[in-house]
A and B are shown apart, each in its own frame.
Chain A
Amino acid sequence: MNRPSLFSAVIRDPIGALDRWSGEDLGWLVPRLGALLVGTSSLYGFSVGIHHSLEQGLYSAVKMPLVFFAPALLAAPALGAVADALGLSLPPRRAAAASLLAMTRVAVVALAIAPVAWLFAEASRNYEFVALSTAGVLLVSGLFGWGLLARSPTGWATASWTSRAGMAVAAALLFGVVTAQAGWLLRPFVLRPRLEPELFQAPESDIFTEIRRRL
């Protein structure tokens, strides 16, 4: 695998990319994946916000990369620590590379699915439907990142099923929680039609309190 094939490696062979670039090449990998993550998540953010107005589309394009970067930046050390606790080997460089690769993969897949969600959103012009389809796109694309994170430790294939299951659950919880809370703090992305576009809303509570309140 050569370096120009980074984009296809993110989609087709993320574990191979991890094996190849998580050592001394981390300094080569991070700026390139970072640029790819910013580009794809920004376009995805634009596609989410544009159903309301151009202004909201631009705001979402600015904020969405932060939502995708937050888990990679904040949860990578915890991912390595959890792997160690489960008896798996995930050195710091590999954990860092896996986190960024996973979130880039999520952003690329989300952007790929976005036109489908956009088509339905444009047809319905319904806030609840757009919010639901955005959550659905993130959930589906999140599976692609989760699969990579769960398999990121070296020797994963030969590890016990309890370690593998523990890693899968821990990766879902860690990255799911950070992504949800970052999205909540940086809202709105999908804006009710009657509201004026705005860059940020004042943080009132956390995502879980809000879900509980609405339920």
Chain B
Amino acid sequence: MNGVGWVALAAGWVAVGLAVAGLLLRQGQTTPAALAALVCWPLLLPLLGAARPAAGPYGVRIDEAVARLDRALREVGEPLPEDLRALARALHQADARVARYDRLHADAADAEPEDRARLVEARARAAGELESVLAEVVRMRVQVGLAALAEGAPVRARLGELSARVGGVDEVAAIGARA
């Protein structure tokens, strides 16, 4: 390859980097990540198509709790990626509901005090249920680490239960709102 060829290769490389940087910015990634993509785009390609960072108040904790449980399960040779993805999805949906209550509450400054109180109570119930499921995930990780729950089938069943439980956050919150 001659000098022109190298320049064309470099220009093509940066052009692809520009496209990847634009997509990353649209996806909600930070400016440093987009700038790094100009040169390091092969390393950042796996981020394309990834879900946006969780917007709810429990987003980070959910990701960390699920990632740790995933790691613990892999360490004991029982990886359950699909079940964990389902649990993470359910937890994030519940988290989004909590965030929705927060937004409603912030927008309801002129609402009746009773309505605001019902909103606060619904939010507290939803958040409480979410917290309780997150605590259960942490407990499971410890049990897996202690080899008390190392078999795949029971773990899968527990994950299914938790996904169903967190999927009912709306109903739990609605009970509070009706009361």
Contacts and interface: CB of A to CB of B under 8 A. Distances in A.
Interface of A: 19, 23-24, 26-28, 30-32, 34, 69, 72-74, 76-77, 89, 91-93, 96-97, 99-100, 154-155, 157-158, 203
A26 B30 contact: no
Query: For chain B, which range describes its interface: under 10, 10 to 19, 20 to 34, or 35 or more residues?
Result: 20 to 34
B79 A155 contact: yes
A23 B40 contact: no
Contacts of B65: none
Given A31-B35, A72-B43, A155-B75, 11 more contacts: A27-B30, A30-B36, A73-B43, A74-B42, A76-B42, A89-B79, A96-B42, A154-B71, A154-B79, A155-B74, A155-B77
A99 B46 CA distance: 13
Given A28-B33, A89-B74, A76 B43 contact: yes
A27 B42 contact: no
B93 interface: no
Given A31-B32, A76-B42, A155-B74, A26 B47 contact: yes
A27 B29 contact: yes
9 closest A-B pairs by beta carbon, nearest first, are A27-B33, A92-B46, A31-B36, A31-B32, A96-B43, A93-B46, A27-B29, A155-B74, A154-B74
Given A31-B36, A155-B75, A158-B75, A23 B43 contact: no
B27 to A, nearest CB: 9
A77 B33 CA distance: 19
Contacts of B33: 27-28, 30-31
A76 B37 CA distance: 15
